[in-house]
Amino acid sequence: MPFQRGRLKEFSSEFSVLQRLTDLVVIAAAAVLAAWIRFGRLELTSSEATAVVIALLLAYFAFAEFGLYRSWRAGSIAREIGLLWVGWGGTFLALTGLLFALKVGAQYSRLWIGSWFALAAALLAVAHVALRLALRWLRNRGYNVRTVCLVGDGEAAVRLRELAGSRASLGFRVVAWFGVHERPEDPRALRVGLLSELQEYVESAQVDEVWVAVPLREEGILRSTFRALHHSAANVRYAPDLYGYELLNHAVTEIGGVTMMDLSVSPMEGVNRLVKRSEDLVLGGLFLLLASPLMLLIALGVKLESPGPVLFKQRRIGWSGREFVIYKFRSMREHVEPVSGGLVQASRDDPRTTRFGRFLRRTSLDELPQLINVLQGRMSLVGPRPHAVEHHQIYIDQIPSYASRHMVKPGITGYAQISGYRGETDAPEKMQRRVEFDMLYIQRWSLALDLKIIALTLFKGLVHENAY
């Protein structure tokens, strides 16, 4: 039998306890499994057991602090796993730092410590995914479902209705819908009506959630709606009708005790910024180390091909619209850009390109020095490609949301590039499509997405017909 309203909070509490217990058991089990791998025994020494107990306490508070035990009913699994790994990484750093400070680190096997960390990270992720899938399975069968009363008749209300109806795994069921200007037509809802009937309904019926989707400009109607809900014990959520605006990462933030609605913000804040920078330093440093011998050979080839510097430097627009100098291997003969026409983009069969330069551009090897930009912190491995100052000044007035692509660091590769939008932008339509993919990247950013883009770039994105 599906859970009733009276069981929802109880179930949420029980599930939170189950999550916490599962995490603690997984961490302890990973330590025992690591001991079996390293020493061939299934028991822990007193010192190892002490380290495990400390790790359990640290992880318990770290995971709670990162919000892992809140409701993830409509959240992303990828984001939950990302926060899980950040919390576990922080736990392990704190544990090893403590062991070092107490001068007892020599009592522990480094292989056991490393195996424990890796196994726990993997098993924690598996456990959280399994619990999520189990919850989705239950919700698809009518269990742990929250009943919803929807208020509004605009595009936002319609989208919310379709979302709840099409994704049963979210665990929401619309049982009533009250329109502001007209009575909604919804044969699936148990009750439809007008705003004037809302108060009577919420006082007599038991619903878990009330979703208000009324435009901000209709302040009087909003006041009437919230007044009608004054005595309701349901969770009241406001979904402003923002679908006509091109916004990024809109959410709610509290600053100095004042609640603010984020309309367009960078995803690179707080933990995300730390994760992104760590990714760039670790992978960027590794790639630069591996590519160093090849870069020396390319530098020699550039020097032998034609006189001039090995590196080509150009001012481009980066994070927050700031200018920076980008590095590339020089692929053209030295020339002076025409003053009247401004910067001239490279084109197919460009006479300025050297023979060796064509090879470098066709294989994207001319981009390798940008790894230095990454380690400097001026670029990232993945992000929107940076454009020259002259092109920025042209497109910022032509293409909507063009400036929003600078809310993250520019990248050596990006979502647009692996999707085929690279090379010369000789028409505004090409730049428009590139910007659309940049916006998708910023909206969907995650560590998993970055790793996917890097992998696709390495295996099929280095050579492309538009690279010239």
Report the CATH number that the domain containing residue 238 is assigned in CATH: 3.40.50.11930
pLDDT the model gives residue 343: 57
Question: Same structural domain for residues 341 and 456?
Answer: yes
Alpha carbons 225 and 230: distance in angstroms, whole number: 9
The last residue of a domain, from among 140, 166, 197: 140
Provide the number of structural domains found in the chain.
Answer: 3
The last residue of a domain, from among 209, 225, 244: 244
Q: Where are the alpha helices (DSSP H) in 229-322?
A: 271-305
- Domain range for 329: 271-461
Question: Same structural domain for residues 132 and 150?
Answer: no
User: Is 360 a member of any domain?
Assistant: yes
User: Is 264 a member of any domain?
Assistant: no
With a CB cutoff of 8 Å and minimum separation 6, the contacts of 53 are: none
Question: Same structural domain for residues 100 and 202?
Answer: no
The DSSP bridge pattern shows strands 146-151 and 411-413 to be: unpaired
pLDDT in tens, the chain (468 residues): 343 444 444 445 566 678 889 999 999 999 999 999 988 888 898 888 999 999 999 998 888 877 787 665 556 678 788 889 989 998 988 888 888 888 887 788 889 999 999 999 999 999 998 888 887 777 666 666 778 888 988 787 888 888 776 666 677 888 888 988 888 877 776 788 888 888 888 877 778 888 888 887 788 888 888 888 877 767 788 877 665 555 666 666 655 555 566 666 777 877 788 889 989 999 999 999 999 999 999 999 998 888 889 999 999 988 878 899 999 999 887 655 554 445 556 555 567 788 888 888 888 899 999 999 999 999 999 999 998 888 888 887 788 778 788 888 999 999 888 888 776 666 677 788 888 889 889 888 888 899 999 999 888 766 655 554
| DSSP-assigned letter for residue 185 | -
Q: Contact 460/361 with Cβ under 8 angstroms?
A: no
pLDDT the model gives residue 261: 63
Question: Same structural domain for residues 378 and 452?
Answer: yes
Question: Same structural domain for residues 172 and 312?
Answer: no
Question: Same structural domain for residues 409 and 426?
Answer: yes
Question: Same structural domain for residues 74 and 153?
Answer: no
The last residue of a domain, from among 105, 140, 175: 140
Question: Same structural domain for residues 120 and 223?
Answer: no
pLDDT the model gives residue 7: 44
pLDDT the model gives residue 249: 64
Question: Same structural domain for residues 50 and 76?
Answer: yes
pLDDT the model gives residue 240: 73
Burial class (CB in 10 A: 0-12, 13-18, 19+), 51: buried
User: Is 253 a member of any domain?
Assistant: no
pLDDT the model gives residue 375: 94
